Amino acid sequence: MAEPRAMDIKDQPGFRSIAVICLLVLYVPVLILMIFSLNSGSLVTHWEGVTLGWYGSAFRNEEFHAAAKNTLIISVTATIVSTICATLAAIGMTRVKPWRGIAAAFMVINLPLMVPEIITAVATLSFFALIAGTLGLNFGIGNLILAHTVFCIPFAYMPIRARLEDMDLTLEYAAADLYATPWNAFRRITLPLLVPGIMSGAALAFIVSFDDFTITQLVAGPGQTTLPLYIWNQIRRPMTPEINAISTILLMVSILFVSVSFLIARRRAK
């Protein structure tokens, strides 16, 4: 009863109103975007009635299909490759004796998080231009996959490393004590226990790749339009609620992945 409550931030004056304003600013635009995807009129600013027609036209839209296909090819490949790299990196950073340059390695892995994305984008573009110019090499969509893989690695790395650091090292000692060779100990103990970390890492990498705009915009060649680029191109023309429908679809995919990743992490953490 006599518990002092003055330090509880929820009781500070203005806390509630500030919180409500923040939430409104964050989510009202998204909500409006979603609502107008159901607008039966052809303007995104004037409400006329309810229809699912724009979703239908989005699903029939071949440009949207092509963009979705590109996006999936790039995201799925980049997710798989970056998650594997991140897993190996995380093991190399946590399950070995401290080695010279371990701090530098950590920096290098996480650099994409700190470098402004536009810089990475310009650098990547110049790099591919250089390769194309001097060696005559162009990997087509492979350029985008490569670029996405690189910037996805730190996102996949973080949850995997966190999981490895939380894991009880004694379990690996116990496995070795029970005649498991290092490979068997990894395969039977470390890897199964690492799965939730790998799943969240992969989900994060997928989302980051899925909605990347800046790097993709600069690196993408002709015929390599991804969903974010497609939406960008559409809004430069007279907009119809079809773009809202497409955006809503993307949003749903993102929410699905983040939720799955969150749920897996929480279930395994118990």
Partner 1 sequence: MGIAFENQVAAPQLPSRPAYGDNQTGTHLPERAGSLNGVIVPEQPGKNAIEVRGVRKVFGTGENQVAALDTVSVSIRENEFFTLLGPSGCGKTTLLRLIAGFDFPTAGEILLHGQDIAPLPPFKRPVNTVFQSYALFPHMTVAQNIGFGLEMLGKPKAEIEARVAQMLKLVKMEALKARRTSQISGGQQQRVALARALAPQPKVLLLDEPLSALDYKLRKEMQIELKRLQHETGITFIFVTHDQEEALTMSDRIAVMSAGKILQVGTPRDIYDRPAERFVADFIGETNFLPGTVVSKHAGVATVKFASNATIAAGYPEGFDPTGEVTLVVRPEHADLVPDPVKGTIAGTLANIVYFGTDTHYHVKLDGGGENFIVRHQNSRSSPVTYATGAKVGIQFEEDAARVLKD
Would you say the C-alpha torsion 259, 261, 262, 267 has a positive or negative sign? Answer: positive
The residue from 16, 69, 188, 266 that contacts partner 1 (CB under 8 A) is 188
Distance of alpha carbon 197 from alpha carbon 258, whole angstroms? 13
From 115-123, 146-154, 172-180, 230-238, give the range in contact with partner 1 by CB under 8 A: 172-180
Does 165 contact partner 1 by CB under 8 A?
no
Residues 158 and 203 sit within 8 Å (Cβ to Cβ): no
The residue from 118, 171, 235, 252 that contacts partner 1 (CB under 8 A) is 171
From 25-33, 64-72, 79-87, 183-191, give the range in contact with partner 1 by CB under 8 A: 183-191
99/179 with CB nearer partner 1: 179
From 64-72, 85-93, 182-190, 206-214, give the range in contact with partner 1 by CB under 8 A: 182-190
Minimum CB separation from partner 1 for residue 105, in Å? Answer: 22
Backbone angles phi, psi at 39, to 5 degrees: -70, 130
Residues 231 and 247 sit within 8 Å (Cβ to Cβ): yes
The residue from 17, 99, 179, 236 that contacts partner 1 (CB under 8 A) is 179
First to last CA, the chain: 33
The residue from 12, 138, 184, 233 that contacts partner 1 (CB under 8 A) is 184
Does 193 contact partner 1 by CB under 8 A?
yes
The residue from 43, 50, 174, 256 that contacts partner 1 (CB under 8 A) is 174
Distance of alpha carbon 262 from alpha carbon 198, whole angstroms? 12
Minimum CB separation from partner 1 for residue 188, in Å? Answer: 8
The residue from 34, 66, 180, 239 that contacts partner 1 (CB under 8 A) is 180
The residue from 132, 141, 176, 250 that contacts partner 1 (CB under 8 A) is 176
Tokens encoding 77: 């490949």
Three-class SS state of 83: helix
Choose among 243, 219, 59: nearest CA to 140.
219
Specify the long-range contacts of residues 255-260, CB closer than 8 Å, at least 24 apart. 257/203, 257/206, 257/207, 257/210, 258/203, 258/207, 260/199, 260/203
Binding interface with partner 1 (CB under 8 A): 168, 170-171, 173-182, 184-185, 188-189, 192-193, 270
